[in-house]
Structure 1
Amino acid sequence: TWDKRYITLAPVATILGLAFRAFDPDHLLGDKDDLGITLALVPTDTPGVKIGRRHFPAGQAFQNGPTQGDDVFIPMEWIIGGQERIGQGWRMLMDSLAAGRAISLPALGTGAAIFCARYAGAYARIRRQFGISIGRFEGVEEPLARIASYAYALDAARKMTAGALDEGEQPSVLSAILKYHATEKMRTALNDALDIHGGRGICDGPSNYLFGVYQSVPVAITVEGANILTRNLMIFGQGAIRCHPHLSKEMKASALEDPKESLEAFDKELWAHIGNATSNVARALWHNLTFAIFATTPEVRGIGGMYRQLHAACVTFAVAADLVMATLGGGLKRREGISARLGDILSELYLMSCVLKRFESDGMPAADLPLVEWNHRMSLYTIQNRLDEVLIDLPNRPVAWLLRIIAFPWGRRRRPPKGSLKHVCANLISADGETRERLTTGIYLGKGKSDPTGLMEEAFAAALTRDSIEAKLREAGKSGRTAVSDLDALVTEGTLSTEDADRLRNANALIREAIMVDDFAPDELAKRIKKAAAKKTAP
């Protein structure tokens, strides 16, 4: 018997995947009462199974709804894996989640960030205020740079993690990192894109290409492991043991049945653990004192220093993780704030590794280097701040003081990207160039004015034409405003050719069309409201 809500595809399902805790009070299958979490596939036409009415999450066409079961009989052959796999449901769920959430939601988040990079950059170029493109204002350059850099990092991490899946791996920790950060960065990118579009972004209608995606963000944040749960419990909670070189081996050694063999195996791993931890403490302090200039890392033109700084951050994180787990022990499960921040550090290390890998795999194009540097600076700055927050909350104060000396012997010296770097990154997506095309490869590009993104593509090209013609006028001592107000006079005096005047008129008309928003008569909106209300009350 069950009563479940928020089940994806439930309204159209012909078979349900059901996770339940199996009990055997009569000991038909063995001597255990509690057999553990088990999975079964149950046809929806089974007596006692009921599919409830459909949910309407975030106004999206997303098939989601409740299911109930009342005293449903489940034959043994419906158990996934049969009798041998009873009690192994949690592992099955985690393995399935490790693969599934490394694909769909990261692809969605990456696609949305890339989409925002292309069209927020285009809009920032075509839209003007006070006679200049809004993309040239520092207040707009900052979110543009963030959108572009997020798009670069997410696509790098998406490809890296998908490659691990292609190799047959089950990267549960990496999939948790990617699901969380892809959807969170998608949320930030869409917020930034809406801020840049202003009224153009919030006025809903057929020509609005942002608002529908913005409305759907909470769905991606919530499904396949809500982001609060993923950040606080899963990223570091799973990674602490799976990624540690000795912890899992120590646990396996302590579980051996032979006491002598168990003690010998545990002692061997314990001493190796102590040696590794001692070495990490010395290396972390040395690298942080010497700014990692002696770190042994790949010497790659343009990014060798980034590899060294990332290496120092990795070793420092290893020391922090070891000492935090040693002092908190099992209590770490209840200190979710500390676990979340350690998870943030682990995530930044992985994402930045993906960024460096992508830059090398792409042939190290110099034009992309500002995006790599933005991500590098922001990652190290975030790592510094999260580690500082861990040390503030760590209950064992002497250990916190020791860690602070190791991690920050010269104080917290990391800084976020500078304004000059933001300016370069913003210009990469608001100007025509190879980086903009490379960054936005793989998304749908509309063709023609009938598609709102197609119209924006044409308007962006028109803006480039407009700007090139106005540049010539400025060289002749004329302002862009003069060109708009009296083109015929400029043609008559020979400052502007007839062809360029026509091109400028057409460009301005196309740009105006692209920045306009949809409008409706009151009765049109009333019909929409009545139609929505009718759907809501329908059985």
Structure 2
Amino acid sequence: SFAYAFSSGSSAAPQSTVDFTRPYYKIINRLSANFALTADMCLGLLAGDIKRKEMLSGRLADIHAHLFIATAILKFFEHSKKTEAERLHAQLAIEKSLYTAQEAFYDLFANFPVGVASGMVKFICFPFGRSLKKPSDQLKQQVANSMMEDNAFRQVLKKHVYYNTHENDVTGRMESTFNLLLEIEKLWDRFKKAENKGQFKGLSFADHVADAQLQGFINDQEAEKLLHYNARRYDSMLTDVFDLHLNEVLELENPYLMKADAKGTDTSVQTDPSHSVSP
């Protein structure tokens, strides 16, 4: 453990290792050696009492579990297509697991009843202090942006969950709305940037779209796409509403949906829920 602290861990790794995963195997090897030494200290000094000290044994379990999780992530990545999206997701997950394992070490050392022994083992395992950091905000933002793209990794995840795109399904309406966003994302971003700058007149979203048409900022077809997507977007965020006795599910109201009368003529006006409209 002490030697690994200087060398960053053993270089031993499976043959399937690639440049991205190799540094993480070294960290896992180091933490595994630290875990073995720490577990020996706990069993040697506490013996059977370790069972009754559940918070300490729980931290040992956390270390063990997150080391397994980290190796599973590496194994998954090495047998994947190794796309940029997969690399970002793997990096975020493994850095979070390794950091959690490190913090479990420190929590165990801080609460171990034999302070001299825990201090000595802590110095052997981490002579230079904490070497692992939390995943950066930049990495999280990159993963978030990747999640908003229809990439190969997203297709892989679909195979392991219930998935459909039906508009009337609880999860399907969110996925169908997401697919719709991908189709008009550039238009939506362009319109929202102008809207946020106060370029359009009116109180509601529909007013802004209408004014954008008058200005020639968008054409009729683009206006229809914006109104349609905005209604679907709002609908995807709605949650179930129940009656006072929680016996029945009430009908959801979406003020952005266009309603037609019996003759098929549109009689509704799209309004923004954040603005009250006088009757």
CA distance in 2, matches of 1:378, 1:459: 30
- Alignment deviations for residues 68-110 of structure 1 (CA, whole Å, 9 cap, x no partner): xxxxxxxxxxxxxxxxxxxxxxxxxxxxxxxxxxxxxxxxxxx
CA shift, 1:471, in A, is: 3.5
Q: Structure 1 residues 526, 518: CA separation in 2 closer, same or farther (over 3 Å shift)?
A: closer
Percent identity, aligned pairs only, is 24
- Alignment deviations for residues 158-205 of structure 1 (CA, whole Å, 9 cap, x no partner): xxxxxxxxxxxxxxxxxxxxxxxxxxxxxxxxxxxxxxxxxxxxxxxx
User: Counterpart of 2:207?
Assistant: 485
Structure richer in helix, relative to its length = 1
- In structure 2, stretches of 5+ residues that fail to align are 249-279
Structure richer in strand, relative to its length = 1
User: Counterpart of 2:277?
Assistant: none
User: Counterpart of 1:91?
Assistant: none
Letter in 2 for 1:499: Q
Q: Structure 1 residues 422, 381: CA separation in 2 closer, same or farther (over 3 Å shift)?
A: same
Aligned partners of 2:12 and 2:25 also within 8 Å: no
- Alignment deviations for residues 215-248 of structure 1 (CA, whole Å, 9 cap, x no partner): xxxxxxxxxxxxxxxxxxxxxxxxxxxxxxxxxx
Q: Structure 1 residues 469, 404: CA separation in 2 closer, same or farther (over 3 Å shift)?
A: same
Aligned partners of 1:391 and 1:400 also within 8 Å: yes
Aligned partners of 1:356 and 1:372 also within 8 Å: yes
Q: Structure 1 residues 295, 489: CA separation in 2 closer, same or farther (over 3 Å shift)?
A: same
Answering whether residue 211 of structure 2 is matched by residue 497 of structure 1, we say no
Letter in 1 for 2:137: G
CA distance in 2, matches of 1:383, 1:304: 19
Q: What aligned pairs does 1:73-92 form with structure 2 within 5 A after superposition?
A: none
Aligned partners of 1:466 and 1:508 also within 8 Å: no
User: Counterpart of 2:76?
Assistant: 358
Answering whether residue 236 of structure 2 is matched by residue 514 of structure 1, we say yes
CA distance in 1, matches of 2:222, 2:172: 24
Q: Structure 1 residues 510, 342: CA separation in 2 closer, same or farther (over 3 Å shift)?
A: same
CA shift, 1:376, in A, is: 2.1
Letter in 2 for 1:430: M
- RMSD over equivalenced CA pairs, Å: 2.6
Aligned partners of 2:195 and 2:208 also within 8 Å: no
- Alignment deviations for residues 444-491 of structure 1 (CA, whole Å, 9 cap, x no partner): 2234222122222222223334432133457xx843673753434444
Aligned partners of 1:317 and 1:345 also within 8 Å: yes
Q: Structure 1 residues 369, 495: CA separation in 2 closer, same or farther (over 3 Å shift)?
A: same
CA distance in 1, matches of 2:190, 2:136: 32
- Alignment deviations for residues 259-292 of structure 1 (CA, whole Å, 9 cap, x no partner): xxxxxxxxxxxxxxxxxxxxxxxxx111112323
CA distance in 2, matches of 1:381, 1:460: 33
CA distance in 1, matches of 2:64, 2:119: 21
Paired residue for 2:12, among 290, 296, 313?
Answer: 296
CA distance in 2, matches of 1:393, 1:487: 61
User: Counterpart of 1:236?
Assistant: none
Q: What aligned pairs does 1:298-447 form with structure 2 within 5 A after superposition?
A: 298=14, 299-447=17-165
Paired residue for 1:449, among 167, 190, 204?
Answer: 167
Letter in 2 for 1:291: S
CA shift, 1:417, in A, is: 1.0
Aligned partners of 2:62 and 2:104 also within 8 Å: yes
Q: What aligned pairs does 1:47-86 form with structure 2 within 5 A after superposition?
A: none
Aligned partners of 1:448 and 1:458 also within 8 Å: yes
Aligned partners of 1:352 and 1:376 also within 8 Å: yes
Q: Structure 1 residues 494, 334: CA separation in 2 closer, same or farther (over 3 Å shift)?
A: closer
Letter in 1 for 2:229: A
TM-score for both structures, normalised by structure 2? 0.75
Aligned partners of 2:70 and 2:98 also within 8 Å: no
CA shift, 1:362, in A, is: 1.1
Q: What aligned pairs does 1:190-339 form with structure 2 within 5 A after superposition?
A: 284-292=1-9, 295-298=11-14, 299-339=17-57
CA distance in 2, matches of 1:349, 1:470: 43
CA distance in 2, matches of 1:336, 1:497: 66
- In structure 1, stretches of 5+ residues that fail to align are 1-283, 529-539
Letter in 1 for 2:82: M
CA shift, 1:428, in A, is: 2.6
Letter in 2 for 1:316: N
CA shift, 1:332, in A, is: 2.2
TM-score for both structures, normalised by structure 1? 0.41
- Alignment deviations for residues 362-415 of structure 1 (CA, whole Å, 9 cap, x no partner): 132222112222222222222222112222233333322220111110012322
Q: Structure 1 residues 329, 445: CA separation in 2 closer, same or farther (over 3 Å shift)?
A: same
Higher relative contact order (CA 8 A, sep 6+): 1
CA shift, 1:507, in A, is: 1.1
CA shift, 1:521, in A, is: 5.1
CA distance in 2, matches of 1:467, 1:376: 31
Partner-residue secondary structure (3-state), 1:414: coil
Aligned positions, number: 240
Letter in 2 for 1:408: F
CA shift, 1:492, in A, is: 4.7
User: Counterpart of 2:267?
Assistant: none
